Amino acid sequence: MTRWLMWLLGGVVLGGIVHLGTILLLPSAATRDAYSRLSPMARVNSVVPIPEPAPEGAPLPFMDPAFAVAVCRYDLSTGPLKLSAPVSQAYTSVSFYARDGVAYYAINDRAAGRRAIELDLMTVQQHNDTPEEEDVTAADRLIVESPSITGLIVLRALAPEPGLMSKAREALAAAQCRIQGS
Amino acid sequence: MRLLIGSLLAFLIAAATGLGATWFTLTRGTAFGAVTIGAWTAWPRTGTPGIDPYARAANARSGAVPVGAGDGVAFVASADDANKRFDGRCDTVLRGTTPAARFWTLTLYDPDGRLIANSAGRYGFTSQEIVRQADGSFEIVVAPRARPGNWLPTGGAERYVLVLRLYDTPVGAATRAGKEAQMPSIAVRSCS
């Protein structure tokens, strides 16, 4: 009897390990995460508008229908990325997601404090390789470090009422992301 | 023989409990660090690198992207203040004010995060669209059929969730319910 109980207990303990293992490994094995869902419609290192969510379907679940959305699917393997997004009338934000979906940075138009959100995205390694003087002369440049080589930048512009959606889309259409020096 | 059967049993239990627990937590949601105000719950840490592994796995599975902490915070409700689950065939009334934020939006989704088709083509409100009372408070009626004032159609769906997103807001992981953050009250009323 006790022997069976031991097997039972062993099974439950092993189950706990299986549970934690699957939870931790799932993000790296997921084939239907946001990055994978957007990959077919988003070219690498360019800003691509994303269709608005509708009852018939949406690119991602739980999208806010009051926002115009564009994404830049980035790949930093050939160098740092420059992002510029003009600020729309109401509210504009730029959020950064690592390849595993972690939101590591987000900034809105007011925090950027200008008429455009402008920043440089680079890996930690690329940041370390940046010459010191360049860092100083460009002190007002906003530098964001990406924890992964690839990832997603999501640009959102609010349309406070449905009639302003085209304006919000226009604002995002002027946004750019490109590899520096190319 | 006993060893074989015993280890088989152990592995079976391991697979069942382990994968079952994973499935359960991913579909039901058990993210840590929740901020609960009335019927509303937010997980501000999911928008930061400090996201817990469960929320990360749930997002990887659903494809949802969390609202970044520098952008805003999303409050979700699936039941009213008396813990009565939302039913799209009932009238549900939201009343009150929202915490300080430059903008907010209220959106109605099915439990999987899809918009629900309705004749009015309305899926939510923004803070600018809402009709308010003189004191700045508002009332939104979530109902299957048209109502005067701020009407948010349910499309008659049996189940739905409401997501209230605050943009550019001081509300975050350190926020506690009370004077600093008052969320609208929710009451499920008559059902048709």
Give the contacts of A117 (CB within 8 A, at least 6 positions apart). A83, A84, A85, A87, A92, A94, A107, A109
What stretches in chain B show pLDDT beneath 50?
A: none
Q: Which residues pair with B159 in a beta bridge?
A: none
Give the chain B residue whose CA is nearest to the CA of A152. B65
A23 CB neighbours in chain B (<8 A) are 22, 25-26, 53-54, 57
Reported as a single tens digit per residue, the pLDDT across B133-187 is 999 899 999 999 999 999 999 998 999 999 999 999 988 877 776 666 789 999 9
**Residue whose pair of structure tokens reads 């739980």 in the numeric block:** A62
- Which residues are bridge partners to B79 per DSSP? B85
Nearest CA in chain B to A54: B115
What is the rounded distance in angstroms from the CA atom of residue B91 to the CA atom of residue B132? Answer: 19
Residue A135 — pLDDT band, cuts 50, 70, 90?
A: low
Distance (Å, whole) CA B130 – CA B153: 14
Neighboring chain A residues of B66 at a CB cutoff of 8 Å: 101, 103
DSSP letter assigned to residue A30? -
pLDDT tens-digit readout, A41-83: 989 999 999 999 999 999 999 999 999 999 999 999 999 999 9
Which residue has 């940046």 as its token pair? Answer: A130
Strand bridging mode B124-126 / B90-96: unpaired
B60 touches chain A (CB under 8 A): yes
CB-based contact A160 B167, cutoff 8 Å: no
Nearest-CA distance A36 → chain B (Å): 8
Cβ(A12)–Cβ(B17) below 8 Å:
yes
Q: Does B47 touch chain A (CB under 8 A)?
A: yes
Query: Rounded CA gap, A143 and A96, in Å?
Result: 13
Predicted-assembly ipTM surpassing the 0.85 threshold: yes
The H or E element spanning position A82 is strand A81-86
Three-state DSSP class for residue A15: helix
Q: Which two tokens stand for residue B105?
A: 């939006």
